[in-house]
């Protein structure tokens, strides 16, 4: 197990937002966290990235207990949340954005910023990342000129520059139309071949297509957990979440 939580809980001034949540995120698998608004999904993400300190429970990342680890260490330990930390510079090209992302600290780097002269040395890795994410033909396109979906893919590329073992994706399909959804979903499926992915996602057809495991949260607690097929047939899930 790459990332596990046991009995995870968070109270806000007497209000219990998350209670008794167990999660297991495995290498090379996509785990989707779904549930209605206010279910506690964002709070769980904030607890896992240590942005919030849990009131109860334990979190393990790659066999290390990270329950008390500070948030600034988490990315270097291999857990990276996308769309929050990934800054895409709109007026720089795809290649330039990825090169800058590669300068960021990762678990191997001893320096925070490398001298500019060393940028060229990072090029092969930048080119590789761009190719892996199907962005080669947009290599010299400014981020601002990319479609919404490709911009998302570029954000994922900048996140992957940190070489995470677990990637947390916060509603990766938010605000996207059909073609972009298909592009980003297939990129996420590819990315998950070599690392664990935990995503909060409202688009259930994407969840059905690419998630190996689904956890349904309701009022801070796990309502159901299993593969999409099993979870979507659960009568409580149908009533509470899918409205059928
Ligand atoms: P979701 O992401 O599933 O929509 P959230 O994790 O954002 O749910 O919220 C879960 C519950 O916790 C909600 O009722 C929300 O109002 C409450 N909550 C979230 N953050 C805070 C906070 N900082 N202080 C008080 N209540 C909070």
For ligand 1, mutation pick of 19, 36, 42, 200 (most atoms within 8 Å of CB): 42
Burial class (CB in 10 A: 0-12, 13-18, 19+), 12: exposed
List, for residues 192-227, the tens digit of each pLDDT value. 999 999 999 999 999 999 999 999 999 999 999 999
Q: Smallest Cα–Cα separation from 153: which of 189, 198, 183?
A: 183
pLDDT tens for residues 1-33?
999 999 999 999 989 999 999 999 999 999 999
Q: How much distance in Å is there from the Cα of 111 to the middle of ligand 1?
A: 36
Whether residue 230 is predicted with pLDDT greater than 90 in this model: the reply is yes
Q: What is the pLDDT of residue 173?
A: 92
Ligand 1 atom 17, closest CA: 17
Backbone angles phi, psi at 118, to 5 degrees: -85, -5
Could you give the CA distance from residue 12 to residue 14 in angstroms, rounded to a whole number? 6
Among candidate residues 147, 75, 145, 131, the one with its CA nearest the CA of residue 98? 131
For residue 65, pLDDT beyond 90: yes
Q: Quick: pLDDT tens for 48-60.
A: 999 999 999 999 9
d(CA 21, CA 6): 6
pLDDT in tens, 96-137: 999 988 886 543 444 455 555 555 666 888 999 999 999 999
| pLDDT tens for each residue of 151-201 | 999 999 999 988 899 999 999 998 888 889 999 999 999 999 999 999 999
């Amino acid at each position: 197990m790459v990332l596990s939580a046991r009995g995870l809980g968070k109270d806000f001034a007497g209000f219990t937002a998350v209670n008794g949540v167990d999660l297991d995120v495995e290498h090379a698998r996509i785990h989707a966290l779904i549930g209605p608004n206010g279910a506690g999904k964002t709070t769980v993400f904030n607890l896992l990235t240590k942005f919030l300190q849990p009131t109860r429970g334990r979190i393990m990342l790659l066999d290390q207990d990270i329950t008390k680890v500070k948030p600034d260490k988490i990315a270097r330990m291999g857990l990276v949340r996308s769309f929050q930390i990934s800054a895409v510079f709109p007026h720089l090209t795809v290649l330039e954005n990825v090169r800058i992302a590669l300068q960021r600290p990762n678990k191997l780097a001893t320096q925070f910023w490398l001298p500019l002269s060393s940028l060229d040395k990072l090029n092969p890795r930048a080119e590789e990342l761009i190719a892996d994410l199907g962005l080669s033909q947009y290599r010299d396109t400014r981020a601002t000129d990319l479609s919404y979906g490709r911009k998302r893919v570029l954000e994922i590329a900048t996140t992957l520059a940190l070489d995470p073992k677990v990637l947390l994706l916060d509603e990766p399909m938010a605000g996207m139309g059909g073609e972009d959804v298909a592009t980003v979903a297939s990129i996420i499926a590819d990315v998950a071949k070599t690392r664990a992915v935990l995503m909060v996602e409202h688009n259930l057809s994407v969840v059905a297509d690419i998630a190996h495991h689904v956890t349904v949260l309701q009022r801070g607690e796990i309502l159901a957990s299993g593969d999409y097929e099993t979870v979507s047939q659960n009568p409580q899930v149908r009533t509470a979440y899918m409205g059928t």
